[in-house]
Amino acid sequence: MSAALLVPALLLDAALGEPDWLWKRWPHPAVLMGRVVGWCDARLNHGRARRAKGVLAMALMGCGALILGALIAAVPDFGVLEVIVAAILLAQRSLVDHVRAVGDALRLSLGDGRLTVGWIVGRDTAAMDEPAVARAAIESAAENLSDGIVAPALWFLVFGLPGLMLYKITNTADSMIGHRTPRHEEFGWAAARLDDVLNWIPARVTAALIALSHGVTEPRRILRDAPLHRSPNAGWPEAAMAVVLGVALSGPRSYHGRRQEFPWVNPEGRRDAGPADVDAACGALWRAWAGLLLLAVAVALV
């Protein structure tokens, strides 16, 4: 049943994306999830036993997401509401639009490229050159393909809307409180660890979708470079994207004014990435999406 609903949800998201007219009038579900996480952070993240409080907060948010997903799924409407909610919580079209905007901005000027990429990455952008801007956009494309499309789709495929809702609240919590900062290292521990667990399989499936949709059948460089990433999961789609585009990704970058020497992913690749490579990354997103759609169709037909 979930596979039969996932197919129209993927198609609906790809066709409509995030219509501005709708979300200017109503808060997006991801925004509402963010408010819940922020409320928990403000109310619980203080005093002693912050890790225990973070575990409690994540447990409550996870249970709430599961219950809400089950209630929506129980509506006797032949799955229409499930399809709509799933399409809203997927992000293929919006991801492509945001990444493509970086390439278009770079063609105007380096300053426009820096400004636009700053909307989708957390690193410092003020001193980036053109290749650094393009790499940041490509890396964001690869990582968010896993987090924003493949992972929620797979959890929907396995556990229906409750599984998707649990994944989304966890991923939202990780993005807000799952950082190793003085404020969140303890309180956000549960969110970060659960997000790692829920993304473990999807990240590797994403790498396979990127590679196979481009005819890459020898995964040696992907297997070699994926573990170099500081994240246990983000390195997989990033390494696959680097290989299929023939570019080197990651490498040195700056966060909050502090330069960090990360290793290169696919160091044999070109280091002069530009707008054309950003466009190619958008094409890779659609190829991987098509592979995911075929997977959902195949499961639905079994």
pLDDT confidence bin for 19, thresholds 50/70/90: confident
> What residues contact residue 98 under an 8 Å CB cut-off, 6+ apart?
119, 120, 140
- Express each pLDDT in 255-289 by its tens digit: 877 888 889 999 999 999 999 999 999 999 999 99
- Express each pLDDT in 230-241 by its tens digit: 888 999 999 999
> What residues contact residue 152 under an 8 Å CB cut-off, 6+ apart?
86, 89, 90, 164, 167, 168, 171
pLDDT above 70: residue 1? no
CA nearest neighbour of 200 among 166, 230, 234: 234
Mean pLDDT, the chain, as a whole number? Answer: 94
Comparing 106 with 124, which gets the higher pLDDT? Answer: 106
DSSP output for 179-207: S-STTTTTTTHHHHHHHHHHHHHHHHHHH
pLDDT above 90: residue 41? yes
Q: What is the C-alpha to C-alpha distance for residues 263 and 48, in angstroms, rounded to an integer?
A: 37
pLDDT above 90: residue 9? yes
pTM, entire model:
0.94
Q: What is the mean pLDDT of residues 198-213?
A: 97
- Express each pLDDT in 43-79 by its tens digit: 999 999 999 999 999 999 999 999 999 999 999 999 9
Q: Which amino acid is at 207?
A: A
Residue ranges with strand state E in the chain:
249-250, 253-255, 258-260, 264-265
The pLDDT score that the predictor gives to residue 255 is 82
Helix (H, G, I), strand (E, B) or coil at 82: helix
Q: Which amino acid is at 156?
A: F
Contact between 154 and 296 (Cβ < 8 Å): no
CA nearest neighbour of 183 among 31, 51, 39, 58: 51
Q: What is the mean pLDDT of residues 178-204?
A: 95
pLDDT above 80: residue 5? yes
Q: What is the mean pLDDT of residues 216-241?
A: 92
